[in-house]
Amino acid sequence: MPRAHHPIFDPAERELTDGGFAREEVRLANRNPGTLLETLRYDVTPPGLHYLLIHFDVPHVASAADWTLDIGGLVERPLKLTLDEIKRCAHRTLRVTLECAGNGRAAMSPRPRGQPWHHEAVGTAEWTGTPLRTLLERVGLAANARDVVFYGRDRGFNGGIEHDYARSLSPEQALGEDVLLAWAMNGAPLLPQHGFPLRLILPGWYGMASVKWLDRIEVIDRPFDGYQQVGTYIYRERADEPGVPITTMRAKSLMVPPGIPDMYSRQRLVEFGRVELFGRAWSGAGVPIAKVEVAVNGRWHEAVLDPEAGRYAWRGWRFEWQATPGEYELICRATDSNGERQPLEPRFDRGGFGNNAAQRVQVTVR
Amino acid sequence: MPRAHHPIFDPAERELTDGGFAREEVRLANRNPGTLLETLRYDVTPPGLHYLLIHFDVPHVASAADWTLDIGGLVERPLKLTLDEIKRCAHRTLRVTLECAGNGRAAMSPRPRGQPWHHEAVGTAEWTGTPLRTLLERVGLAANARDVVFYGRDRGFNGGIEHDYARSLSPEQALGEDVLLAWAMNGAPLLPQHGFPLRLILPGWYGMASVKWLDRIEVIDRPFDGYQQVGTYIYRERADEPGVPITTMRAKSLMVPPGIPDMYSRQRLVEFGRVELFGRAWSGAGVPIAKVEVAVNGRWHEAVLDPEAGRYAWRGWRFEWQATPGEYELICRATDSNGERQPLEPRFDRGGFGNNAAQRVQVTVR
């Protein structure tokens, strides 16, 4: 490939977008990595490339031997379990795509405070663990059980409130067959940043439900009112509305940006000829992807879907593009089997949640 | 720990710093993760927590079997080697702390364009590989060899110039006994994002020298003039000065921020009493750390150093702080055995390189 000069790849000729991002947002982005879009090629995200959203600090758990899980509250037989005791139960492995509920926040206008994701807060892993149901059946939920609360070991302030990270499920949700207490990721013990030694995995839901560094489970007789349950992770357009609690992932697709990038702007240069566009698509709660479409300068084409790889895993898609020299905008959008299709523009949400607007990639073909 | 309300942890009472960061900077921060400062506790950085600075895209190398290394140019016996052939040579394992030359760029004023690191672009790993010297002696450098050039498989635009990522060393530097062609990191094959299947490791230098996805080595009779060698990674205060090429790391120290954080601002809350402050310190080219000092609201104390853990690895340090309620600024700074001490304020550099100014952590003790 010869050296080339092209004005959009010359920094002197390129205009900077001043996003007006705050230092706090950049610090969060420095801490919380997204996946690298080019590594969407891997069916299972390699270690270190799965997105992370760490609310507080990663707790330091030196050894699983120092750790136990308490299950208490409104249960008939409270339990304290070691990791070995949990691992001795029957276990399952599920391939699960997880996405942060705040994915796409950086594209919203006005932009809510928080981790400024563009598109990259996603990853797929094989999680191995004991079905939560096994342990809940062992302890026996009391008749007046209303919520099952999962507490992590990570503690800090959010929204002005000090708390251990905690989320709840209804008994019905908690007894779902695919909810796991996971101790292994891709066949290895959990890494510190993914919840060592034990975490919840709630397939099909946005990531906030899959509580990491699980410390205790408490069954209560009222709706859980912790900050992560009622103070955030609620879809709201206005501050004064009750809103809708966030649960399962919305349909979304991403493409591996074709060609080669400019280091700073991430603009792409593609050689003319046959280009195979490749990407991934997923939706929530085990709803299959029905269709992925690709637009080339506004003209839509249907992509070919790879075989499914499990109820909760993303699905590959491909589209062969005959690229001729010029400037292009490529867009991909998925439609799931419920008929939910990605919008072309972000829907506003006060917390910056659930933005599944279609990805747009600008490329120059030479 | 009771719930607490404190004004600096209440978002309604906190002022936002508008950093005026560009969208391009945030996109780079989304791609390139730093380490999580709380995980500085690990002697060797766990997988996925070592910083990454990926200039272009991670090349897709499906299998090491598809890959070879060419060594050519001004050599007596050019070679093409498979990974297995390289692994059959004698090998060594070195524990090496690597830091990005742009670490600290986000604190510079004016802020140069690029990945907006604060302090987190660092990590320590055990790299296993064949000494580069072994292979260079096998091919035999010609008498007129002036530079040894290392080309990666990653290609893109930087500074308006299209190129494969490439860096060079003088024959003397390349024949140094600790320069490795590394195929394993922490006992496992390289991850895609760390250079699979083979990369250069130049202990003691900033990370730009340790070329990833190594594709070919070419010996030339003139100074290498590639963009990554002469267009960037040069210390310069003014555009019109020749500047000084960047080589080894400057002395630096970091602390694990004590207490618990606010999710968005990363402000810290610490309980009063005995607090062990812990951190890491390192310098370049195998120069030992001589001293780490900690300032508590401007008053300096000397920290206790952990034993050394190898010539090129960071060193732990500890300081016992008797914390009483109030507002504090904690600072740490290292001095190396050459007498180089971290400055308290960033030195300006046009490219945002080599900012080893001391880390400052704001904490509230209650």
Inform me whether the pLDDT recorded for B1 exceeds 50: no
pLDDT band at B346 (very low <50, low <70, confident <90, very high): very high
> What is this model's ipTM?
0.94
pLDDT in tens, B262-301: 999 999 999 999 999 999 999 998 899 999 999 999 999 9
Go through chain A and tell me how many residues it has.
Answer: 366
Interface of A with B in 36-55 (CB under 8 A): 36, 38-39, 41-42, 46-50, 52, 54-55
Q: Does residue B23 belong to the interface with chain A, where contact is any CB pair within 8 Å?
A: yes
Q: Does residue A90 belong to the interface with chain B, where contact is any CB pair within 8 Å?
A: no
- pLDDT at residue A285 in the model: 84
Start-to-end C-alpha separation, chain B? 11
Structure tokens at A347: 């829907």
**Which of A75, A49, A97 lies closest to A308, judged by CA?**
A97
pLDDT in tens, B46-71: 999 999 999 999 999 989 998 999 99
From chain A, pick out residues whose CB is under 8 angstroms from the CB of B29. Answer: 26, 29-30
Interface of A with B in 264-293 (CB under 8 A): 264-267, 269
pLDDT in tens, B15-37: 555 578 999 999 999 999 999 99
Interface of A with B in 226-255 (CB under 8 A): none
Inform me whether the pLDDT recorded for B353 exceeds 60: yes
A20 to B21: CB separation less than 8 angstroms, yes or no: yes
A56: closest CA of chain B, how far (Å): 6
User: Does residue A91 come out as left (phi exceeding 0), alpha (psi in the -120 to 50 range) or beta?
Assistant: beta
Tell me the CA distances in angstroms from A213 to A4, A68, A97, A305, B114, one per residue in order: 50, 11, 19, 36, 34
Cα separation, A3 vs A323, in Å, equals 20
Q: What secondary structure does DSSP assign to B91-150, as a single string?
A: -EEEEEEEE-TTTTGGG-SSPPSS----S--EEEEEEEEEEHHHHHHHH-B-TT--EEEE
Domains along the sequence of chain B with CATH: 23-245 (3.90.420.10), 249-365 (2.60.40.650)
Q: Does residue A223 belong to the interface with chain B, where contact is any CB pair within 8 Å?
A: no
- pLDDT at residue A18 in the model: 59
A26 to B4: CB separation less than 8 angstroms, yes or no: no
Q: Classify residue A1 as exposed, middle or buried by CB count within 10 Å of its CB (0-12, 13-18, 19+).
A: exposed
User: Which of B26, B106, B263 is closest, CB to CB, to A55?
Assistant: B263
Cα separation, A130 vs A90, in Å, equals 6
pLDDT in tens, B250-260: 999 999 999 99
The arithmetic mean of pLDDT across residues B173-182, rounded, is 97
- pLDDT at residue A239 in the model: 86
From chain B, pick out residues whose CB is under 8 angstroms from the CB of A47. Answer: 47-48, 191
Say if residue A197 is preceded by a cis peptide, omega within 30 of 0: yes
Alpha-helical (H) ranges within chain B are 23-31, 83-87, 132-139, 171-174
- pLDDT at residue B198 in the model: 98
Q: Classify residue B289 as exposed, middle or buried by CB count within 10 Å of its CB (0-12, 13-18, 19+).
A: buried
Q: What are the pLDDT tens digits along chain A (366 aa)?
A: 344 455 556 655 455 555 789 999 999 999 999 999 999 999 999 999 999 999 999 999 989 998 999 999 999 999 999 999 999 999 999 999 999 999 999 999 888 889 999 999 999 999 999 999 999 999 999 999 999 999 999 999 999 999 999 999 999 999 999 999 999 999 999 999 999 999 999 999 999 999 999 999 999 999 999 999 999 999 999 989 999 999 999 999 999 999 999 999 999 999 999 999 999 999 998 899 999 999 999 999 999 999 999 999 999 999 999 999 999 999 999 999 999 999 999 999 999 999 999 999 999 999
Best residue in B27, B45, B119 to probe A by mutation, most A CBs within 10 Å? B27
- pLDDT at residue B9 in the model: 66
Best residue in A3, A5, A30 to probe B by mutation, most B CBs within 10 Å? A30
Interface of A with B in 159-198 (CB under 8 A): 159-163, 191-193
Q: Does residue B63 belong to the interface with chain A, where contact is any CB pair within 8 Å?
A: no
- pLDDT at residue B3 in the model: 44
Residue A240: half-sphere exposure toward Cβ, Cα within 13 Å: 0
**Which of B213, B231, B229 lies closest to B58, judged by CA?**
B213
Beta bridge partners of A12: none
